[in-house]
Amino acid sequence: MVYRKAPKHSGDAPDSSANPADRPASTGKERRYQGIGSAKGFAIGETYEFVRETIEHETADLSPENIEGEIERFMTALHRSEKELKKIERVTTRKIGRLYSDLFQAQIMLLKDPVLTGNITRRIRQELKPAHIVIEQEFGKLLEHFLNSDDVIFRERAADLHDLKERIIRNLHIRKLHSWVPEGSIVVSHHLSPADIILLSRSNIKGFATDTGGKTSHVSLICKSLNIPIVVGLGNFSQKAVSGERIILDGNEGLVITNPLDETVDTYLKKREEESKREADDSIMAHRHAFTRCGVRISVYSNIDFKEEIEHLDSMGAEGVGLFRTENLFLDDLKPPKEAAQQEYYRKMGEMLAPKPLVIRLFDIGGDKLIYSPVKEPNPNLGWRGVRILIDVPEILDAQLQAVIRANIHGNIDVLIPMISSVEEIMHIKQAVEEHYKHIRSLTTEPLDKPGIGAMIEVPAAVELIDEITQIVDFVSIGTNDLTQYTLAVDRNNLIVQDLFEKFHPAVIRQLHRVISTAQKNHCRVSLCGDMGSDPLATPYLIGCGLREFSIVSSDIPALKAMVGKYTVEECEALAAECLKLSSASAIKAHLEAFVKAH
């Protein structure tokens, strides 16, 4: 990789304070570019454009006498790649712990995979093809399953495989890894890898802006851990950016402003000052229980993807884990994890949290995401996914349920069933839990609690059946992202219709009220684990509907706790009643905005 050299700064790299360094000379008209804010925060500084080098490859077949030399070149590239990844792994561990350093360890393990390397060396010998061509083709087989997925999480994980492939090919050409950029820059690029983020962050980078990427990519998650704002999904912004120009990066709104006017800069400096004060106030709230102004207790849990996140939950004020997404265990080895490995993983999590609760969502995977499966569906989001796969492929379900049951030695683990659309699906899982629990109990004299069973409410069919569902499960958890998507028939990752994805649509807020009120009537616990739980506008409405449990991103917990204390239940109930009468999202949002502003 290489970088376009940025123009020299006239002084020190600009910092984020209100001083002249925040105001490099404007070189043109102020322009705004909308993307997706993946890690919150503001940055003001100068652009540094990151561009990858295009390597010219030899395409002619090898002569027999060059075969061994080509294989040796390939093995040297693997060795160089491993050294680089070990260095990046060490830096990652030092900066943010082992939470994401395991990502690079997984890449190192793939480098040593005898099947992959054996296939590549065999084909070089047999087909007389240059190493880079065979590498492209072999990695292409792995990448195809991920890139063709309709699930954004899996498409973004494909980027990690692509980056490993590019690293090996670069090292075939003995190209040096560069990672220096001017201190305090805002890096703009078409694409950034997790390794890029880790290495560039050593230069105290203020922020990142990329054409590609999404909220759930490793790049975005690492930036959150590093507290560096990033805006992704900017289209072709990198082609328009100019190194050295003044830029504002707004990770809260997903906005990039080039050549901002002085008054725009002043606005953002004021915003940052207000946010710093708010964060300081919120941090005090993090270590307190959340109560409404009238004294009603609100419980706040965390959504997590890795067990390593647990050690940071206390500092954020989480009262446990309301949603642990297990799909990352599936992805690490590109195949279903073994029961023993799952049991150990869940046991450690339960132990770290005890006596706080841990809700483990069963694998929420789709047909095109099972890389060993021949199934290719035209619309996987409406196809073979979630609980449907768990029922149809019992070995996956059985291994996970047995692992959870054996891991539940502290009695604080529950399971959550994804993508429920019928009562029969719940009964199938309940019966499987009962059978596995009885069998495992017969094999041990140690106390072992049966995990509670919850259902994800994320499709309209589940809302229609909410009365029956809340009578047969221990709890329900509302996934507002998918519920909104399926209710409005809008793919939230489709840029063409993304503006139609409206969480305050009357149909959505009425469904939320119905689910929450019905669960309360049937004495069934109910929580909400979608992005809506972190939205300040939604908080009073949800409390007014009767919601008393939120499960959200850890970093948003202090702000939610502070928000809860501003309202009484009575005024929130009145607000919810008014919103339920309104027939447009704009009217509902206006009503919520006026309420929040008044408090």
Cα gap 508→485, rounded to integer Å: 10
Catalytic residue among 218, 505, 513, 591: 218
Cα distances from 456 to residues 153, 231, 384, 560, in angstroms, run 19, 30, 17, 22
170 labelled binding-site residue: no
Question: Can you name the residues that pair with 36 across neighbouring β-strands?
Answer: 232
Per the CB < 8 A criterion, the answer to whether 191 and 230 are in contact is: no
Active-site residue flag, 191 = no
Residue 487's Cα: distance from chain center in Å? 22
Active-site residue flag, 529 = yes
Copy the structure tokens of residue 424.
């029969």
Copy the structure tokens of residue 117.
């390397």
The SS3 assignment for 402 reads: helix
Q: Closest Cα partner for 480 from 537, 402, 565? A: 537
Cα distances from 402 to residues 363, 422, 432, in angstroms, run 14, 23, 10
314 labelled binding-site residue: no
Per the CB < 8 A criterion, the answer to whether 196 and 1 are in contact is: yes
DSSP class of 152? H
Long-range contacts from 82-86, C-beta under 8 angstroms, 24+ separation? 82/108, 82/111, 82/112, 84/167, 84/171, 84/177, 84/195, 85/111, 85/167, 85/195
278 labelled binding-site residue: no
Cα gap 49→382, rounded to integer Å: 40
| Residue 153 identity (one-letter amino acid) | I
481 labelled binding-site residue: yes
Largest CA distance in the chain: 84
227 labelled binding-site residue: no
Reduced to 3 DSSP states, what percent helix, strand and coil does the chain have, rounded to the nearest 5?
50, 15, 35
CA angle, residues 346, 347, 350, in degrees to nearest 5: 85
492 labelled binding-site residue: yes
Q: How many CB atoms lie within 10 A of CB 388?
A: 16
DSSP class of 54? P
Catalytic residue among 529, 545, 572, 579: 529
Residues 6+ apart with CB under 8 A from 442: none
Rg over CA atoms, the chain? 25
Active-site residue set: 218, 529
Which residue positions form the known binding site for Mg(2+)? 458, 482
Residue numbers in the known binding site are: 325, 361, 458, 481-482, 492
